[in-house]
Amino acid sequence: MPHHQEPITPYPTARGPKREQVEMMFNHIAPTYDRLNHSLSLGIDRRWRRKAIDALKPFAPQTILDIATGTGDFAILAAQRLDPDRIIGVDISEGMMDVGREKVKAAGLDNVIFFMKDDSTALSFDNETFDAVTVAYGARNFDDLEAGLKEMCRVLIPGGHLMLVELTTPPRFPMKQLFGFYAHTVMPFIGRLVSHDDSAYTYLPQSMAAFPQAEILVPLLRHCGFSEVQYQRFTFGLSTMYLATK
């Protein structure tokens, strides 16, 4: 049950694969990214992150891989709330991870959280290395979602858990229509204002709209090797959380 479509890219007129464009975009907006994220979601994203991490609490994972870690928000929260031995945050953007390294140091977590550049669709870790894999608001930037999910499954120990949280387009009236206006008018405007990158925040709503909803993603997760898959929609379906067991 493969999921194929033309990739949505940040700079449609530019040449080069999606991965390179996403790397370029995030390196460019890294300095303003955190502020922008919280203002665009009116701070609700913090609550979504907490709920997602707390869903892993019963399993007490000790080694965690945080994919598309960006500026490390999710990794830091996971370190504080789950108290693991080690979290490795991987991303393709050094610019974003540099911001993350500063934040981790400031939080006194640099003996727990480590960053490295890696490609989510071809991870450089051995099979069955991690108790848990997390990806928060980064899966929609993957070059190849199916390849990324298979890689996550591969590096998890048997019985390990994947926690995936993604922004999604609300499925129903009136939130669907309200969100459409917000995403295509308000978001690019605020994005331009704060980050001075016109493409980045037109890309965001487009990549959300293109990301598969639960009805497609649940079977895709099973197809990629996960046995149990549960999901929960937050805030009228603006964000969806998936918990999958290998």
Give the pLDDT score at 37.
Answer: 81
* Assigned domain for 10 exists: no
3-state secondary structure of 125: coil
Q: Return d(Cα 171, Cα 169) in angstroms, integer.
A: 6
Structure tokens at 146: 């199916």
Q: State yes or no: pLDDT of 114 exceeds 70.
A: yes
Find the CATH number of the domain harbouring 225.
3.40.50.150
- The answer to whether position 6 is within a domain reads no
How confident is the model at residue 3, as a pLDDT? Answer: 54
| 44 has pLDDT over 70 | yes
Number of structural domains (the chain) is 1
Is the pLDDT assigned to residue 193 strictly greater than 90?
A: no
Whether 197 is in a domain gets the answer: no
pLDDT digits (tens, 9 = 90+) for 74-93: 999 999 999 999 999 999 99
The letter for the amino acid at 243 is: L
| Residue 22, phi then psi, degrees to nearest 5 | -65, -40
- Does the bond joining 174 to the residue before it have cis omega, within 30 degrees of 0? yes
Mean pLDDT rounded to a whole number for the chain: 93
Reported as a pLDDT band with limits 50, 70 and 90, residue 188 is confident
Does residue 186 fall inside a structural domain?
Answer: no
Does residue 50 have a pLDDT over 60?
A: yes
Task: Confirm whether 41 is domain-assigned.
Answer: yes
Task: Tell me, yes or no, whether 83 lies in a domain.
Answer: yes
In a domain, 178, yes or no: no
Write the burial class of residue 85 (CB in 10 Å: 0-12 exposed, 13-18 middle, 19+ buried): exposed
Give the model confidence (pLDDT) of 218-241 as tens digits. Answer: 999 999 999 999 999 998 899 999
Q: What is the mean pLDDT of residues 163-186?
A: 91
Residue 4 has pLDDT above 70, yes or no: no
Q: In which domain, by residue range, is 67 found?
A: 18-168+208-245
Side-by-side strand order, sheet with 113-117 = 113-117, 86-91, 63-67, 130-136, 156-167, 239-245, 228-234
List the one residue out of 211, 188, 189, 183 whose CA is nearest residue 201: 188
- Domain for residue 193, yes or no? no
Q: What is the pLDDT of residues 22-37, one digit of tens each?
A: 999 999 999 998 888 8
Query: Which pLDDT score, from 0 to 100, does residue 232 have?
Result: 96
